[in-house]
Structure 1
Amino acid sequence: MNISELKEVLLNNVPVDVIKFIAREHQLTYSGSNKGEVVEDLIRDAQTNDKVEILRSIASQYQFAGRTSIDWYESDEDIEFRRCEETIIEKYSTDIFVFGRVRPELDKDPKLIYVNADEEEQQILLMFAYNGPIRRILVDYEPRVDNPTYFDYVIIKFNPFTVESRASFNMSKKLINSCKDILSLDEVQLSRVEIIGDDQISILKTKLGAELQLARHQSLVGDYDWIEVLADPETGDLSQSEHYLQELATSPSKRKIFVFEFNYSFGYSEKVTLEVNTENGRFWFRSAVGEEAIRYVLQKVRETVNSEGSLIT
Structure 2
Amino acid sequence: MDTPIGSMTALITPFKNGKVDLEKYESLIKRQINAGVDVVSPCGTTGESATLTHKEHKECIEVAVATCKNTNVKVLAGAGSNATAEACELAKFAQEIGANAILSIAPYYNKPTQEGLYQHYKTIAQSVEIPFMLYNVPGRTAVDLLPETAIKLFDDVKNIYGIKEATGSLERATALMSQRENFLVFSGDDGIDFPMLVSGAKGIISVTSNLVPDLKVKLVNSVFNKDYETALKIHNDLYELNKVLFCESNPIPIKAAMYLSGLLDSLEFRLPLTKPSRETIDKLEKILKKYEVIK
TM class by smaller structure: under 0.3
Question: Which one has a larger percent helix, Structure 1 or Structure 2?
Answer: 2
- TM value normalised by structure 2: 0.25
Question: Which one has a larger percent strand, Structure 1 or Structure 2?
Answer: 1
> Radius of gyration: which is bigger?
1
- TM value normalised by structure 1: 0.24
